[in-house]
Amino acid sequence: MKRRNFIRSTAASGIALAGLTGMMSATAGETVASNTAKFKLKYAPGLGTFKENAGTDPIDNIKFMADQGFRAIFDNGLMNKPAELQEKIAAELTRQGMDIGPFVLYADFGVKSMVYNDEESRKMLKEKLIQGIETYKRTGAKYALMVPGKYDDKLEWDYQTANVIECMRELSEIAEKAGMVIVLEPLNRWNHPGLFLTGIPQAYMICKAVNSPSCKIVDDMYHQQITEGNLIPNIDRAWDEIGAFHIGDNPGRKEPTTGEINYKNVFKHIYDKGYDGVLCCEHGNSKPGKEGELSWIKAYREVDSFEV
């Protein structure tokens, strides 16, 4: 993550109020009011988040998100979409002036993919990376997410760490030449037992050892609230190695305001640090249907209403 000095809009303080005025209940036969007031941060709903209001077509979803003031999207499955659809998504994002968050490059939770010095695994990962680079070229999705897989309780931890670092050095060298960034995601050990990478400090140490601008962290605040908490101090300590964020409240992994995380304070802190990257809304809806989707948007207007 790079610190950016950019001019803040003088209208930013009025975004939250403007945002709430654009909302209306959506029941059968009603339409959703337009609200083009832009959010302060690039919260990125996933394609399909608003299927009740916008349908299932990805382009219609992007138009709806832009109309509701969102400045980015994310799609974990982007790499597996047909090339023609990838290009259409990229063209619509360009037309709307929107960004796109990390897509999943490789995340197999059942395989010990990086903890061994294994030629076969590294060949497979490099092939995945080449495929991801082609996706990046078509879409401009610069950040690609990887999970190192499971650990081996029969091999000393330090050997496994060294193997992960060496693997990421090889992959990052390829990614850097292409202009792409690999982001490593730590996942909590309760929902995903047996995985090697679980915490922000651990991911930070690996990125420092790899020492490449193409090896960064995606800080999933839902997972990190479960694993270690202390969200803001860990953001500060790992700041220069964070490439992107994931959002989800805990417990439940639903939209902000439904759990214990004070996202309004967290988002203000991230905003004040000058972050202009994407924050992927990788969570579900606490309520069903059209009204649930509008409640989802309203929750983001609430947590985005911090003073600047």
Write out the catalytic residue numbers: 185, 282
Amino acid letter for position 305: S
State the Cα torsion 222-145-119-176 to the nearest 10°.
Answer: -130
Integer Cα distance of 266 and 232 in angstroms: 7
Task: Give 124's Cβ-side CA count (13 Å radius).
Answer: 14
Integer Cα distance of 93 and 27 in angstroms: 29
Sign of the torsion formed by the C-alpha atoms of 41, 47, 49 and 52: positive
Please give the helix or strand (H or E) that residue 90 lies within, else none: helix 83-96
CB neighbour list of residue 166: distance below 8 Å, 6 or more residues apart: 117
Integer Cα distance of 249 and 257 in angstroms: 7
Q: Are 246 and 222 in contact (CB under 8 A)?
A: yes
Which residues lie across from 106 on neighbouring strands?
146
Q: Are 87 and 139 in contact (CB under 8 A)?
A: yes
Integer Cα distance of 88 and 30 in angstroms: 29
Integer Cα distance of 23 and 238 in angstroms: 37
State the Cα torsion 15-61-63-37 to the nearest 10°.
Answer: 0
How many residues are listed for the chain in this entry? Answer: 308
Q: Are 219 and 242 in contact (CB under 8 A)?
A: yes
Return the structure tokens found at 237.
């300590």
